[in-house]
């Protein structure tokens, strides 16, 4: 009955169309939207009886428009009445994301294209994807395997690599 995160995309054909449009550089009218309501599980994220909802949509690389209403429309489509519950909005577009974190080139929070070879060979094709060229430093962001969307796993795997390479400690 409760989920911290849901994905809203509609039918398979609607999701395919939305992703095709993004790939072609067009912001879809019905975008694929990820919606998170972490305050269901962590009450420190809100005050009183208000709830905090966070969402994002796949957008074309470098998109500079405002897709806020498209996201709200898509959420409203699956949760009628949602629009009437909004008390405030804070919107950050792709280019603002890039300003915030230069690793988010074009607003890409996955720090690079998520295609099959990149799931295993991020950021480069080498045997130690977590080890930085500077001794004792490790990469642990979504720019390392398995990439974005597998929350925390890149950091976990980087920590395992560091423990093994620096201290000879193997962690299962």
Of the three residues 84, 107, 130, the one that is the final residue of a domain is 107
**71/124 same-domain check:** no
Q: Please state, in angstroms and rounded to a whole number, the distance separating the CA atoms of residues 121 and 125.
A: 5
**44/121 same-domain check:** no
What DSSP assignment string belongs to the chain? ---SEEEE--SHHHHHHHHHHHHTT---SS--EEEE-GGGT-GGGS-TT----EEEE---TT--S--HHHHHHHHHHHSTTGGGG--------HHHHHHH-TTSGGG-TTSS---HHHHHS-SSSSS-TTB-SSTT-B--STTSTT-TTSTTHHHHHHHHHHHHHHH-----
**103/162 same-domain check:** no
**41/71 same-domain check:** yes
**86/155 same-domain check:** no
The answer to whether the pTM exceeds 0.95 is no
**82/10 same-domain check:** yes
Q: Containing domain of residue 154, as a range? A: 116-167
Count of domains forming the chain: 2
Q: Are the C-beta atoms of residues 59 and 21 closer than 8 Å to each other?
A: no
Residues shown for the chain: 172
Q: Are the C-beta atoms of residues 78 and 35 closer than 8 Å to each other?
A: no
Residue 51 placed within a domain: yes
Residue 54 placed within a domain: yes
Q: Please state, in angstroms and rounded to a whole number, the distance separating the CA atoms of residues 56 and 144.
A: 22
Residue 159 placed within a domain: yes
**50/127 same-domain check:** no
**124/41 same-domain check:** no
**68/100 same-domain check:** yes
One digit per residue, the tens of pLDDT, for the chain of length 172 reads: 688 889 999 999 999 999 999 999 999 999 999 999 988 888 898 888 888 999 999 899 889 999 999 999 999 999 999 999 999 999 999 999 889 988 888 888 777 777 777 767 776 777 788 888 888 899 888 888 887 777 788 899 999 999 999 899 999 8
Q: Are the C-beta atoms of residues 137 and 172 closer than 8 Å to each other?
A: no
Residue 128 placed within a domain: yes
**90/130 same-domain check:** no
Residue 74 placed within a domain: yes
Residue 172 placed within a domain: no
**124/68 same-domain check:** no
Q: What's the half-sphere exposure (Cβ side, CA atoms, 13 Å) at 111? A: 21
Q: Please state, in angstroms and rounded to a whole number, the distance separating the CA atoms of residues 89 and 54.
A: 10
């Amino acid at each position: 009955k409760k989920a911290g995160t849901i994905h809203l995309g509609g039918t398979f054909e609607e999701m395919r169309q939305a992703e095709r449009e993004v790939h072609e550089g067009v912001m879809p009218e019905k975008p694929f939207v990820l919606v998170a309501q972490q305050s269901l599980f962590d009450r420190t994220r809100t005050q009183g009886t208000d709830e905090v909802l966070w969402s994002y949509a796949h957008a074309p690389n470098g998109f500079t428009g405002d897709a806020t209403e498209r996201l709200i429309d898509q959420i409203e489509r699956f949760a009628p009445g949602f629009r009437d519950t909004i008390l405030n909005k804070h919107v950050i577009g792709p280019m603002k994301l890039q300003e915030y974190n230069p690793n988010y080139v074009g607003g890409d929070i996955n720090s690079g294209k998520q295609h099959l070879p990149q799931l295993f060979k991020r950021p480069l094709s080498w045997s130690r994807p977590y080890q930085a060229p500077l001794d004792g430093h490790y990469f642990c962001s979504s720019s390392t395997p398995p990439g974005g969307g597998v929350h925390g796993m890149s950091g976990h795997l980087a920590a395992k690599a560091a423990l093994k390479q620096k201290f000879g400690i193997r962690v299962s």
